[in-house]
Chain A
Amino acid sequence: SQQGEEDPQALSIQEGENATMNCSYKTSINNLQWYRQNSGRGLVHLILIRSNEREKHSGRLRVTLDTSKKSSSLLITASRAADTASYFCATFGAGGGNKLTFGTGTQLKVEL
């Protein structure tokens, strides 16, 4: 089964609203990363949070990490139509292996 599972699977909001996506994972991690994928394109890295960090900000993005619950959340504030995309969390395991394991993704639609 997946290392990372995200909810909701799909989210539709109005421009200006906040969007929150959640990610749960199963094993110990070194870091957790969030990526965005626009339709028909590759993934773009948004933010990385290390296992010893609890919160990180980048512009309109806020990421939290709770290693005791093995979960993370991505908050996009004041959303824009251009934020419409799929968002994936990915974990880098503490056991090494130099590999990222991706979650199932959340499809976000921001309507005007």
Chain B
Amino acid sequence: EADIYQTPRYLVIGTGKKITLECSQTMGHDKMYWYQQDPGMELHLIHYSYGVNSTEKGDLSSESTVSRIRTEHFPLTLESARPSHTSQYLCASSTTGSNQPQHFGDGTRLSIL
């Protein structure tokens, strides 16, 4: 129901490859977020953005990087994937303001062999 899309949904790839996970939203939201979630576990914030050209690191240290060149697009990149990066990555967005819900994509399930 939310207009936020993540691709790919699943990715199985070898160690050392460069990976970009895509996230796009059509709601015009200024704020966007990346979370990492292991199966059955809580979400950990790894990156967020308040708007174009704004990126911040989250609570969980991550070797990934992000960029925000356009409002609707917030890609996450791993320069050299390792098995420890195997996880589910969830993208979310919200409008400005503290009492606003976040809208989530369906996630990318990443497996590094």
List residues of B (64-113) whose CB comes within 8 Å of A's CBs. 90, 92, 98-99, 101-107, 109
Partner of A92, one of B40, B42, B98, B106: B98
* Interface 9-mer from A12-20, A59-67, A71-79, A95-103: A95-103
B99 and A48 within 8 A (CB): yes
Give Cα distance in the complex from A43 to B35, angstroms: 11
Contact string, B31-70, partner A, CB cutoff 8 A, digits 1/0? 1000100001111110010100000001100000000000
Interface size on B, residues (CB 8 A): 28
B45 and A99 within 8 A (CB): yes
B103 and A30 within 8 A (CB): no
Give Cα distance in the complex from A98 to B48, angstroms: 9
Give Cα distance in the complex from A31 to B97, angstroms: 12
25 pairs from A and B in contact (CB 8 Å cutoff): A2-B42, A30-B99, A31-B98, A33-B101, A35-B104, A40-B107, A42-B6, A42-B105, A42-B106, A42-B107, A43-B43, A43-B102, A48-B99, A50-B99, A86-B40, A88-B42, A92-B98, A98-B98, A99-B48, A99-B58, A99-B59, A102-B43, A103-B42, A105-B40, A107-B40
